[in-house]
Structure 1
C-alpha cells in the first residue's frame, strides 16, 4: 500500500528546515543539499513539493511574515498609539537573534525577486498590512495628543517602512548599529518633529 503523504505538512517541514539552516549556518549555507540533509532525505525529494528553490525561499518568506504578524498582534494587544507602534517595530526590526535571522531570509528573498520575475506571484505585499496598522496607531497617537494633529501620517509611514527595510538590509550586510536601542531610536527620530 502506498504511503500517504500530507503535502502541505511536508512543504511546511521543508520551509522549517530552510529556516533552521539559515538560523544555524547563515543564508549562504541554505542550499537544497543542506535542506535535504536537515530533513534526512534526498535532494530530489524537495522537488516533489516545490517547483524550485525560489519557491522554497518564497515559502520561508511567507512563514516569516506570518510569524511576524502573529508576534505583532500579541505584542500590541491592549496597546494603542505610540506604545503600540513601538511594540510593532520591536517585532519587525532586527533587534534580537530571531528577528536578525529573519532579516537574512527576508533580504535574501528580496534579492531573488530582484533577479527576475520567476517568483513575483509569491510576493506578499506585507507593506500594505503594516501601513494599515501604522496608520491606526499614528491616528490613535494624534487622538491621544502624543502626536500633533498636522502629522503627515502617510509620509511618516513611508519613512517608517524605509527604516524597517533599511535596518533589515543593514543588519544583513553588517553596516547598521548593532545596539537595538539605536535601531529603535530611528523611529523616535522620525516621530520627534510631530510630538
Structure 2
C-alpha cells in the first residue's frame, strides 16, 4: 500500500531544504537536482508540489517573512516607542547569520519581481505591514517625549524601510557598510535629529 504523503508537509520540507541550500551555498547552488537531493525525493517529484522553481522561491520568501514577523511580535511584546522600534529593526536587519541567510533569500526573490505581479504584491504587503508598525512606534515615541512633536513620521518611516531593504542587499554583496555596528549606527543617525521634546 502506498505511503500517504501530506502535501502541505511535503511542501514545507521542500521549502526548508531550499532555505538550507541557499544559506549554506548560495542561490546558484539551489538547482532542481540539489533541491530534490536535499529534500530526499526524486527530482521529478518536486513538481507534484510546486508549479516551478519560481513557486519554491515565492514560498521561501513568504516563510522568511512569516518567521521575521513572529520574531518581531515576540521582540516587541510589552515594548513601545523607540525601544520597540529598535527591537523590530534588530529582527529585520542582517545583523547575524540567521538574518544574513534570510537576506540572501529575499534579495533572490527581488530578482523575480519584474515578471511576477503577484510577487510584487507580496513585497508591497510587507512594506505596508512594516510601515504601519514603524509609524506606530514612532507615534508612541512622540507621545512619550522620546522624539520631538514635529518629527516627520511619514518621511522617517520611508527612510527606515529603505534602510532595511538596502542593508539586506549590501549584506548579500558583502559590503563593509553592512557590518552590524554600521547598520545600527545608520538607524541611530536617522533618529538623532528628532530625539527629545522641543
Query: Is the TM-score greater than 0.5?
Result: yes
Measure how far apart 1:39 and its partner are.
Answer: 1.5
Q: Does structure 2 retain, via aligned residues, the 8 Å contact 1:141–1:147?
A: yes
Q: Distance in 2 between matches of 1:96 and 1:177?
A: 14
Partners of 1:94 and 1:171 within 8 A in 2? yes
- Which residue is equivalent to 1:82? 82
Deviation at 1:176, TM superposition (A): 4.0
What is the distance in 2 between the residues matched to 1:146 and 1:37? 52
Using the alignment, how far apart are the partners of 2:117 and 2:177 within structure 1? 34
The match for 1:138 is 138
Does the CA contact (< 8 Å) of 1:127 and 1:161 recur in 2? yes
Question: Where has structure 1 moved over 6 Å in runs of 4 or more?
Answer: none
Counterpart position of 2:20 = 20
1:167 Cα deviation after fit: 0.3
Matches within 5 A, 1:41-190: 41-114=41-114, 116-117=115-116, 120=119, 123-124=122-123, 125-190=125-190
Q: Alpha carbon RMSD of aligned pairs, Å? A: 1.4
Aligned residues: 194
Give unmatched runs, 5+ long, in structure 2. Answer: none
For the 8 Å contact 2:81–2:140, the answer to whether it is kept is: yes
Which 5+ residue runs of structure 1 have no aligned equivalent? none
Higher alpha-carbon deviation: 94-103 or 27-36: 27-36
User: Residue 123 of structure 1: SS of its match in structure 2?
Assistant: helix
Worse-matched range after superposition: 59-68 or 4-13? 4-13
